[in-house]
Structure 1
Amino acid sequence: MAAIGTLSPANSGVASLLETSRTTVDHEQDGESSLLASPTLVEGVKVSLSGAAIHKSAGSGGDNRDIEESGLPENIQQLLKMIRQLQQQIAEKNARIKAVMADKTLSTEEKIAKLAALKGAIAALNNGLITANLSLSKVMNQSNLTPEQTMKTASLLMKN
Protein backbone atom coordinates (compact mmCIF):
# COMPACT_ATOMS: atom_id res chain seq x y z
CA MET A 1 0.00 0.00 0.00
CA ALA A 2 1.11 3.53 -0.66
CA ALA A 3 0.40 6.53 1.49
CA ILE A 4 -0.38 9.85 -0.07
CA GLY A 5 0.95 12.77 2.00
CA THR A 6 -0.80 14.48 4.83
CA LEU A 7 -2.58 17.76 5.03
CA SER A 8 -2.11 20.29 7.72
CA PRO A 9 -3.55 23.78 7.95
CA ALA A 10 -0.22 25.08 6.66
CA ASN A 11 -0.25 23.17 3.37
CA SER A 12 -3.93 22.65 2.67
CA GLY A 13 -4.41 25.92 0.82
CA VAL A 14 -7.25 26.84 3.17
CA ALA A 15 -6.89 29.34 5.97
CA SER A 16 -7.56 27.82 9.36
CA LEU A 17 -10.55 29.03 11.32
CA LEU A 18 -8.28 30.43 13.98
CA GLU A 19 -6.37 32.51 11.43
CA THR A 20 -9.64 33.77 9.97
CA SER A 21 -10.99 34.69 13.39
CA ARG A 22 -7.71 36.36 14.31
CA THR A 23 -7.95 38.57 11.21
CA THR A 24 -11.50 39.51 12.13
CA VAL A 25 -10.54 40.28 15.70
CA ASP A 26 -7.53 42.33 14.53
CA HIS A 27 -9.79 44.56 12.51
CA GLU A 28 -12.31 44.91 15.32
CA GLN A 29 -9.93 45.20 18.28
CA ASP A 30 -6.52 46.52 17.37
CA GLY A 31 -4.63 45.82 20.59
CA GLU A 32 -6.23 42.60 21.80
CA SER A 33 -5.14 40.14 19.09
CA SER A 34 -2.30 38.87 21.27
CA LEU A 35 -4.86 37.30 23.62
CA LEU A 36 -5.71 34.60 21.08
CA ALA A 37 -3.82 31.34 21.33
CA SER A 38 -1.53 30.39 18.50
CA PRO A 39 -2.85 27.58 16.29
CA THR A 40 -1.53 24.09 16.86
CA LEU A 41 -0.72 21.96 13.86
CA VAL A 42 -2.65 18.74 13.71
CA GLU A 43 -1.82 15.95 11.33
CA GLY A 44 -4.35 15.70 8.52
CA VAL A 45 -5.92 12.76 6.79
CA LYS A 46 -3.79 9.93 5.45
CA VAL A 47 -5.05 8.01 2.45
CA SER A 48 -3.88 4.51 1.62
CA LEU A 49 -4.53 2.98 -1.77
CA SER A 50 -4.50 -0.71 -2.53
CA GLY A 51 -2.30 -2.03 -5.28
CA ALA A 52 -5.35 -2.56 -7.48
CA ALA A 53 -6.47 1.04 -7.01
CA ILE A 54 -3.01 2.37 -7.80
CA HIS A 55 -2.81 0.19 -10.90
CA LYS A 56 -6.26 1.24 -12.07
CA SER A 57 -5.60 4.94 -11.60
CA ALA A 58 -2.19 4.76 -13.27
CA GLY A 59 -3.33 2.55 -16.12
CA SER A 60 -6.54 4.25 -17.13
CA GLY A 61 -5.48 7.86 -16.73
CA GLY A 62 -8.99 8.68 -15.59
CA ASP A 63 -12.44 7.35 -16.28
CA ASN A 64 -13.06 9.88 -19.03
CA ARG A 65 -9.76 9.71 -20.84
CA ASP A 66 -11.43 8.15 -23.88
CA ILE A 67 -13.89 11.04 -24.03
CA GLU A 68 -11.12 13.63 -23.69
CA GLU A 69 -9.09 12.00 -26.47
CA SER A 70 -12.06 11.55 -28.80
CA GLY A 71 -11.63 14.82 -30.66
CA LEU A 72 -15.31 15.64 -30.18
CA PRO A 73 -16.42 19.22 -29.50
CA GLU A 74 -16.01 20.31 -25.87
CA ASN A 75 -19.74 20.68 -25.17
CA ILE A 76 -20.38 17.10 -26.31
CA GLN A 77 -17.48 15.85 -24.19
CA GLN A 78 -18.90 17.60 -21.13
CA LEU A 79 -22.34 16.07 -21.67
CA LEU A 80 -20.85 12.60 -22.12
CA LYS A 81 -18.92 13.00 -18.87
CA MET A 82 -22.06 14.19 -17.09
CA ILE A 83 -24.03 11.21 -18.37
CA ARG A 84 -21.33 8.80 -17.17
CA GLN A 85 -21.26 10.46 -13.78
CA LEU A 86 -25.04 10.19 -13.43
CA GLN A 87 -24.97 6.54 -14.49
CA GLN A 88 -22.27 5.84 -11.91
CA GLN A 89 -24.25 7.56 -9.17
CA ILE A 90 -27.36 5.55 -10.07
CA ALA A 91 -25.35 2.32 -9.92
CA GLU A 92 -23.98 3.32 -6.50
CA LYS A 93 -27.48 4.04 -5.19
CA ASN A 94 -28.70 0.66 -6.50
CA ALA A 95 -25.81 -1.04 -4.71
CA ARG A 96 -26.76 0.77 -1.51
CA ILE A 97 -30.35 -0.45 -1.94
CA LYS A 98 -29.08 -4.02 -2.13
CA ALA A 99 -26.95 -3.44 0.97
CA VAL A 100 -29.92 -2.06 2.91
CA MET A 101 -32.07 -4.99 1.85
CA ALA A 102 -29.40 -7.43 3.03
CA ASP A 103 -28.77 -5.63 6.35
CA LYS A 104 -30.30 -7.80 9.07
CA THR A 105 -29.58 -5.25 11.82
CA LEU A 106 -32.12 -2.72 10.51
CA SER A 107 -35.73 -2.75 11.59
CA THR A 108 -38.46 -2.84 8.98
CA GLU A 109 -39.21 0.84 9.53
CA GLU A 110 -35.55 1.79 9.13
CA LYS A 111 -35.30 -0.22 5.92
CA ILE A 112 -38.42 1.41 4.52
CA ALA A 113 -37.12 4.89 5.35
CA LYS A 114 -33.67 4.25 3.87
CA LEU A 115 -35.11 2.60 0.76
CA ALA A 116 -37.51 5.49 0.22
CA ALA A 117 -34.66 7.99 0.45
CA LEU A 118 -32.51 5.99 -1.95
CA LYS A 119 -35.36 5.54 -4.42
CA GLY A 120 -36.05 9.28 -4.30
CA ALA A 121 -32.39 9.99 -5.02
CA ILE A 122 -32.44 7.53 -7.92
CA ALA A 123 -35.56 9.20 -9.34
CA ALA A 124 -33.82 12.58 -9.24
CA LEU A 125 -30.69 11.13 -10.85
CA ASN A 126 -32.82 9.48 -13.56
CA ASN A 127 -34.45 12.83 -14.32
CA GLY A 128 -31.00 14.38 -14.63
CA LEU A 129 -29.92 11.53 -16.91
CA ILE A 130 -32.92 12.02 -19.16
CA THR A 131 -32.25 15.75 -19.35
CA ALA A 132 -28.56 15.19 -20.15
CA ASN A 133 -29.42 12.69 -22.88
CA LEU A 134 -31.92 15.10 -24.42
CA SER A 135 -29.33 17.89 -24.29
CA LEU A 136 -26.75 15.65 -25.93
CA SER A 137 -29.17 14.80 -28.72
CA LYS A 138 -29.96 18.47 -29.28
CA VAL A 139 -26.30 19.51 -29.29
CA MET A 140 -25.40 16.69 -31.68
CA ASN A 141 -28.10 17.83 -34.11
CA GLN A 142 -26.92 21.44 -33.93
CA SER A 143 -23.20 20.65 -34.21
CA ASN A 144 -23.24 19.20 -37.73
CA LEU A 145 -21.09 16.26 -36.68
CA THR A 146 -19.46 14.04 -39.26
CA PRO A 147 -20.75 10.45 -39.42
CA GLU A 148 -17.52 9.35 -37.72
CA GLN A 149 -18.05 11.80 -34.86
CA THR A 150 -21.65 10.65 -34.49
CA MET A 151 -20.52 7.02 -34.28
CA LYS A 152 -17.79 7.94 -31.80
CA THR A 153 -20.31 9.79 -29.63
CA ALA A 154 -22.68 6.82 -29.71
CA SER A 155 -19.94 4.36 -28.81
CA LEU A 156 -18.77 6.56 -25.92
CA LEU A 157 -22.36 6.91 -24.73
CA MET A 158 -22.78 3.14 -24.63
CA LYS A 159 -19.52 2.52 -22.78
CA ASN A 160 -19.69 2.38 -19.01
Structure 2
Amino acid sequence: ATGGTPWQGGLGFSNPDNLAFDPAGNLWITTDRSSNANLDVFGNNSCWVLPRQGAAAGQALCFAIGPIDCELCGPCFDADGRTLFLAVQHPGETTGTRQGQAVEAQAHTLVDRSGRRFEQLRWVPLGSNWPSGVPGRPPRPGVVAISRRDGAQWLPGTN
Protein backbone atom coordinates (compact mmCIF):
# COMPACT_ATOMS: atom_id res chain seq x y z
CA ALA A 1 0.00 0.00 0.00
CA THR A 2 1.38 3.35 -1.01
CA GLY A 3 0.70 6.25 1.31
CA GLY A 4 0.67 9.83 0.14
CA THR A 5 -1.57 12.22 -1.71
CA PRO A 6 -3.29 10.96 -4.87
CA TRP A 7 -1.79 13.79 -6.92
CA GLN A 8 1.66 12.52 -5.95
CA GLY A 9 0.93 8.85 -6.71
CA GLY A 10 -0.31 7.80 -3.26
CA LEU A 11 -3.61 6.19 -2.33
CA GLY A 12 -4.76 9.10 -0.16
CA PHE A 13 -3.49 8.23 3.29
CA SER A 14 -0.38 9.05 5.28
CA ASN A 15 2.14 6.77 6.97
CA PRO A 16 0.66 3.26 6.71
CA ASP A 17 1.56 1.63 10.01
CA ASN A 18 -0.42 -1.46 11.11
CA LEU A 19 -1.80 -4.03 8.68
CA ALA A 20 -4.37 -6.80 9.05
CA PHE A 21 -6.21 -9.14 6.71
CA ASP A 22 -9.85 -10.06 7.25
CA PRO A 23 -10.98 -13.66 6.57
CA ALA A 24 -11.89 -12.68 2.97
CA GLY A 25 -8.33 -11.49 2.32
CA ASN A 26 -9.03 -7.75 2.27
CA LEU A 27 -6.15 -5.61 3.54
CA TRP A 28 -6.88 -3.24 6.44
CA ILE A 29 -4.42 -0.42 7.18
CA THR A 30 -4.15 2.04 10.05
CA THR A 31 -2.09 5.20 9.77
CA ASP A 32 0.33 6.86 12.15
CA ARG A 33 0.97 10.35 10.86
CA SER A 34 3.22 12.53 12.92
CA SER A 35 2.24 15.90 14.30
CA ASN A 36 4.39 17.53 11.59
CA ALA A 37 2.45 20.48 10.15
CA ASN A 38 3.47 19.42 6.64
CA LEU A 39 1.29 16.31 6.98
CA ASP A 40 -1.82 18.15 8.20
CA VAL A 41 -3.43 17.78 4.78
CA PHE A 42 -4.22 14.21 5.91
CA GLY A 43 -6.08 15.27 9.06
CA ASN A 44 -6.53 12.70 11.82
CA ASN A 45 -5.16 9.19 11.72
CA SER A 46 -7.48 6.71 10.09
CA CYS A 47 -8.28 3.13 9.12
CA TRP A 48 -8.45 2.12 5.45
CA VAL A 49 -9.40 -1.04 3.59
CA LEU A 50 -8.13 -2.27 0.23
CA PRO A 51 -10.65 -4.78 -1.13
CA ARG A 52 -9.17 -7.91 -2.67
CA GLN A 53 -11.85 -8.22 -5.35
CA GLY A 54 -14.99 -6.55 -6.65
CA ALA A 55 -15.53 -3.12 -8.22
CA ALA A 56 -13.24 -1.38 -5.70
CA ALA A 57 -10.45 -4.00 -5.77
CA GLY A 58 -7.10 -2.39 -4.98
CA GLN A 59 -8.60 1.01 -4.16
CA ALA A 60 -7.99 2.55 -0.74
CA LEU A 61 -11.34 3.14 0.97
CA CYS A 62 -11.44 5.23 4.15
CA PHE A 63 -13.28 3.19 6.78
CA ALA A 64 -12.79 5.17 10.01
CA ILE A 65 -11.24 8.42 11.20
CA GLY A 66 -9.82 8.55 14.71
CA PRO A 67 -10.34 11.19 17.39
CA ILE A 68 -8.12 14.29 17.44
CA ASP A 69 -4.39 13.62 17.91
CA CYS A 70 -4.79 9.85 18.29
CA GLU A 71 -3.33 6.84 16.54
CA LEU A 72 -5.64 4.03 15.49
CA CYS A 73 -3.67 0.81 15.77
CA GLY A 74 -3.76 -2.94 16.25
CA PRO A 75 -6.53 -3.74 13.79
CA CYS A 76 -7.76 -7.30 14.23
CA PHE A 77 -10.92 -9.30 13.63
CA ASP A 78 -12.87 -11.82 15.63
CA ALA A 79 -12.93 -15.43 14.37
CA ASP A 80 -15.75 -14.93 11.85
CA GLY A 81 -14.44 -11.57 10.62
CA ARG A 82 -17.61 -9.67 11.49
CA THR A 83 -16.15 -7.52 14.28
CA LEU A 84 -13.14 -5.24 13.82
CA PHE A 85 -11.19 -4.20 16.89
CA LEU A 86 -9.15 -0.97 16.86
CA ALA A 87 -7.08 0.53 19.65
CA VAL A 88 -7.27 4.30 20.09
CA GLN A 89 -3.90 5.44 21.46
CA HIS A 90 -3.00 8.80 22.98
CA PRO A 91 -6.04 10.92 21.92
CA GLY A 92 -5.27 14.60 22.47
CA GLU A 93 -1.52 13.92 22.48
CA THR A 94 -0.59 17.20 20.80
CA THR A 95 -3.41 19.57 21.75
CA GLY A 96 -4.47 18.09 25.11
CA THR A 97 -7.91 18.27 26.68
CA ARG A 98 -10.53 20.15 24.67
CA GLN A 99 -11.99 23.07 26.59
CA GLY A 100 -15.40 24.36 25.53
CA GLN A 101 -15.81 24.29 21.78
CA ALA A 102 -12.28 25.49 20.92
CA VAL A 103 -11.37 25.20 17.23
CA GLU A 104 -8.69 26.49 14.91
CA ALA A 105 -8.90 27.31 11.22
CA GLN A 106 -6.51 25.43 8.95
CA ALA A 107 -6.05 26.34 5.29
CA HIS A 108 -4.75 23.63 2.96
CA THR A 109 -3.80 23.74 -0.69
CA LEU A 110 -5.01 20.55 -2.34
CA VAL A 111 -4.98 19.25 -5.91
CA ASP A 112 -8.01 17.63 -7.57
CA ARG A 113 -7.86 14.62 -9.88
CA SER A 114 -7.46 16.93 -12.89
CA GLY A 115 -4.34 18.50 -11.39
CA ARG A 116 -6.01 21.80 -10.47
CA ARG A 117 -5.03 23.38 -7.15
CA PHE A 118 -7.68 24.61 -4.75
CA GLU A 119 -7.81 25.93 -1.19
CA GLN A 120 -9.69 24.10 1.54
CA LEU A 121 -10.51 25.73 4.89
CA ARG A 122 -11.06 23.34 7.80
CA TRP A 123 -12.28 24.14 11.31
CA VAL A 124 -10.42 21.66 13.49
CA PRO A 125 -11.20 20.99 17.18
CA LEU A 126 -8.40 21.94 19.57
CA GLY A 127 -7.93 19.07 21.98
CA SER A 128 -9.86 15.90 22.62
CA ASN A 129 -12.44 14.66 25.09
CA TRP A 130 -12.64 11.17 23.62
CA PRO A 131 -14.41 8.95 24.56
CA SER A 132 -16.66 10.98 26.88
CA GLY A 133 -17.22 13.91 24.52
CA VAL A 134 -17.65 16.16 27.58
CA PRO A 135 -15.70 19.45 27.27
CA GLY A 136 -13.04 19.75 29.96
CA ARG A 137 -12.81 15.99 30.59
CA PRO A 138 -9.44 14.50 29.68
CA PRO A 139 -9.12 12.14 26.73
CA ARG A 140 -8.41 8.47 27.42
CA PRO A 141 -7.14 5.62 25.27
CA GLY A 142 -9.38 2.67 24.61
CA VAL A 143 -10.35 -0.18 22.32
CA VAL A 144 -13.41 -0.10 20.09
CA ALA A 145 -15.24 -3.08 18.59
CA ILE A 146 -17.04 -2.28 15.33
CA SER A 147 -19.57 -4.54 13.62
CA ARG A 148 -22.36 -4.09 11.11
CA ARG A 149 -25.89 -3.85 12.48
CA ASP A 150 -27.08 -6.45 9.99
CA GLY A 151 -24.32 -8.88 11.04
CA ALA A 152 -22.99 -9.17 7.48
CA GLN A 153 -19.35 -9.30 6.42
CA TRP A 154 -17.66 -5.91 6.05
CA LEU A 155 -17.30 -6.19 2.30
CA PRO A 156 -20.02 -8.54 1.03
CA GLY A 157 -19.11 -10.43 -2.10
CA THR A 158 -15.39 -10.60 -1.34
CA ASN A 159 -15.36 -14.11 0.14
- Where on the TM-score scale, by shorter chain, does this alignment land: which range? under 0.3
Q: Relative to total residues, which structure has the larger strand share, 1 or 2?
A: 2
What TM-score comes out, normalization by structure 1 length?
0.20
Query: Between Structure 1 and Structure 2, whose CA radius of gyration is higher?
Result: 1
Which structure carries more relative contact order (alpha carbon 8 Å, separation 6+)? 1
Q: Relative to total residues, which structure has the larger helix share, 1 or 2?
A: 1
